[in-house]
Amino acid sequence: MEQAAIENNPLSTKNESWILTATILASSMAFIDGTALNVSLPSLQSSLQASGTQLLWILNGYLLMLASLILVGGSLGDRLGRKKVFMTGIALFMIASLACGVSPTIQWIIAARVVQGIGGALMIPGSLSILTVLVAPSRRGRAIGIWSAATTLITVIGPLLGGFFADLGFWRGVFLINLPLGILSLVILHFKVPESRDESVVGSIDFAGAALVTIGLAGITYGFLSLPNFSFWTWQVVGTLLTGVLGLVAFIIVEARRKNPMMPLGLFRSHTFSGANLLTLFLYAGLSVGFFFLALNLIQVQGYSKTQAGLATLPFALMLVALSRWAGGFMDRNGPRLPLIAGPALAGAGFFYMAFSGLTRGPAAYWTAFMPGIALFGVGMGLTVAPLSASVMGSVETHYSGIASGINNAVSRAAGVLAVAIVGSMALIVYAGSLTSQTAGLHLSDKAQQALSAEAEKLGGATVPVEAGPQNIDAIKVSIKQSFVDTFRLVMFICAGLAWASALAAAILIEPRLNPRTE
């Protein structure tokens, strides 16, 4: 009934271009945030004197709230009004972006990123939901295609934009650019887009599940990111890790018992649905932490400008765009299993290649040191993205397709949270140990060693402490870079292993053809 009314409503047809414009503008904020920030982080670190742990919290403060609340955000839109919740999310995202853009301290920006994650959880599910509901079925495919093309373009230019702002000495621009985008989107939504809600939705919103998954992810994140500063067997680490694990266990128990859970566990009876989400967990974990360390390596260690570092990831985006449509057609003819094995396997090979990049001659060595690995990773993701989305949506009953997509979206964000926390804390510990080992032969004084250990918290942004003396400056500079290269190699090996684990999950669990299952 609702769709028929939209199809025949002249006002709805007239406003479809406005609806598309508003959703693209709002989505652009999230996509720019996701692709441009990594390239800007070295400048942010230098400006606000951030430690490596604090850099990791800048990523995880946002991802933590996004992963925990994104399913609730979609449910709120269905019940309270998609436009209302979407606009609330945009406003929160804008306010938090402004706070990030004017942040005087690193603690301020981390807090603002948490608020930004809450805004994103309300905003991100609304974009495609509004398009799907308010655009007539006969024109919906074209509208979603335009939306996908626009967001893909933003994915390509995001790192370039981040590098451009950072090279101008204005990393804050990565956040402040959200303000005009958000204002334009809000104005169009207010005047041109009608409200919609799902009147058939019954049951209460699963706030208990959202609270438990937040506690679980936050506990694990805080526990692992505390490891570089505390030994494992301290209450700060053990207590928060235990709280996190218990929170996630309680979440599963609550979801199994609720009549209207935000994550219906019955969907996981489908081997393909389970395999697709396990693949997502491993592959997006590697993607999140791998590209974070790649940006730091290129800028802080290899000597790339921020713009050059943004350009360096372009082969990934181009391969992703070029192959996604072909991979979708291949899947239609042959099923999703083969591309979901081959794609992550090639992505893992890309990470493995970059592990051997070493300390290079800067941008001149890019074509052999990094470009093949980045391109190979792009080929792998290009083969994976379309079949993965189709597997998630096609392995469940049609009326579960929205929640299935939401779960997969949440899993990809949770993968980033866990990977950044676990692999990031491991990298900080390995880097500090490597730097101590590399400088052991310099016979530094205790005071100089303490100062150098404090600098190790900044990862590749570490500088030579004045206590080391002028005679040791060159040797310590080399040690700082070599220690990061050693750490980067370990991170790339881990990312390769995660990608190959996702390929194995696909080989075991993904069925040759999509067969929707009932709960």
Q: What CATH number is attached to the domain comprising 11? A: 1.20.1250.20
10 pLDDT above the threshold of 50: no
For the chain, the domain total comes to 2
Q: What is the pLDDT of residue 448?
A: 86
Residue 224 and residue 194 share a domain: no
Residue 216 lies in a domain: yes
Q: Which pLDDT band, with edges at 50, 70 and 90, does 518 fall under?
A: very low
Give the percent of the chain with pLDDT over 90: 55
Question: What's 270's DSSP letter?
Answer: S
185 pLDDT above the threshold of 90: yes
Q: Which pLDDT band, with edges at 50, 70 and 90, does 88 fall under?
A: very high
pLDDT digits (tens, 9 = 90+) for 251-287: 999 999 888 888 888 889 999 999 999 999 999 999 9
Residue 191 and residue 161 share a domain: yes
* Positive or negative: CA dihedral 95, 96, 102, 104: positive
For residue 321 the two structure tokens come to: 């765009």
Residue at which a domain ends, from 177, 203, 229: 203
Q: What is the pLDDT of residue 423?
A: 95
Q: What is the pLDDT of residue 136?
A: 80
Q: What is the pLDDT of residue 429?
A: 92
Q: What is the pLDDT of residue 12?
A: 52
Question: What's 457's DSSP letter?
Answer: T
Q: Which of 264, 343, 328, 347 is nearest to 514 (CA)?
A: 328
Residue 211 and residue 198 share a domain: no
Residue 275 lies in a domain: no
Residue 280 lies in a domain: no
Residue at which a domain ends, from 257, 281, 297: 257
Residue at which a domain ends, from 192, 225, 257: 257
Q: What is the pLDDT of residue 113?
A: 96
319 pLDDT above the threshold of 60: yes
Say how many CA atoms lie within 13 Å of 247 toward its Cβ.
21
Residue 171 lies in a domain: yes
pLDDT digits (tens, 9 = 90+) for 191-229: 998 888 877 766 778 889 889 999 999 999 999 988 887
Residue 140 and residue 76 share a domain: yes
Mean pLDDT, residues 308-313: 93
Q: Which pLDDT band, with edges at 50, 70 and 90, does 471 fall under?
A: confident
Q: Which of 184, 4, 213, 259 is nearest to 121 (CA)?
A: 213
138 pLDDT above the threshold of 50: yes
Which phi-psi region, left, alpha or beta, contains residue 408 (left: φ > 0; alpha: ψ -120 to 50)? alpha
Higher-confidence position of 132 and 202:
132
Residue 215 and residue 95 share a domain: no
Q: What is the pLDDT of residue 13?
A: 56
Residue 469 lies in a domain: no
SS (H, E, C) 470-508: HHHHHHHHHHHHHHHHHHHHHHHHHHHHHHHHHHHHHHH
Intra-chain end-to-end CA distance of the chain, in Å: 26
β-strand partners of 277: none
* ∠ Cα 453 301 173 (to 5°): 100
> Taking the model in full, what pTM does it have?
0.89
484 touches 443 (CB < 8 A):
no
Q: Which pLDDT band, with edges at 50, 70 and 90, does 57 fall under?
A: very high
Residue 234 and residue 156 share a domain: no
Maximum alpha-carbon separation in the chain = 81
Q: Which pLDDT band, with edges at 50, 70 and 90, does 24 fall under?
A: very high
Q: Quickly count: other Cβ atoms within 10 Å of residue 333's Cβ.
A: 6
pLDDT digits (tens, 9 = 90+) for 376-414: 999 999 999 888 888 887 887 866 777 888 888 889 999
What is the distance between the alpha carbons of residues 431 and 488, in angstroms, rounded to a whole number?
9
515 touches 397 (CB < 8 A):
no
Residue 187 and residue 214 share a domain: no
Q: What is the pLDDT of residue 245?
A: 95
Residue 225 and residue 185 share a domain: no
β-strand partners of 396: 517
Specify the 3-state DSSP secondary structure of 396: strand
Higher-confidence position of 198 and 87:
87
What is the distance between the alpha carbons of residues 282 and 156, in angstroms, rounded to a whole number?
23
Q: What is the pLDDT of residue 7?
A: 46
Q: Which pLDDT band, with edges at 50, 70 and 90, does 519 fall under?
A: very low
489 pLDDT above the threshold of 60: yes
515 pLDDT above the threshold of 70: no
| Dihedral (Cα; 344, 348, 349, 353), 10-degree rounding | 150
Q: What is the pLDDT of residue 389?
A: 83
Residue 9 and residue 47 share a domain: yes
Burial 153-172 (b: 16+ CB within 10 A, else e): ebbbbbbbbbbbbbbeeebb
Q: What is the pLDDT of residue 416?
A: 92
Residue 97 and residue 4 share a domain: yes
Q: What is the pLDDT of residue 517?
A: 52
Residue 49 lies in a domain: yes
Q: What average pLDDT does the chain have?
A: 88
Q: Which pLDDT band, with edges at 50, 70 and 90, does 4 fall under?
A: very low
Specify the 3-state DSSP secondary structure of 23: helix
Residue 168 and residue 215 share a domain: no
Higher-confidence position of 426 and 2:
426
401-438 and 473-509 helices, crossing angle to 10°: 150
Residues spanned by the domain of 39: 1-203
Residue 422 lies in a domain: no
Q: What is the pLDDT of residue 2?
A: 47
pLDDT digits (tens, 9 = 90+) for 63-86: 999 998 888 888 888 888 999 999
Residue 316 lies in a domain: no
193 touches 18 (CB < 8 A):
yes
Give the percent of the chain with pLDDT over 70: 95
Residue 134 and residue 108 share a domain: yes
β-strand partners of 391: none
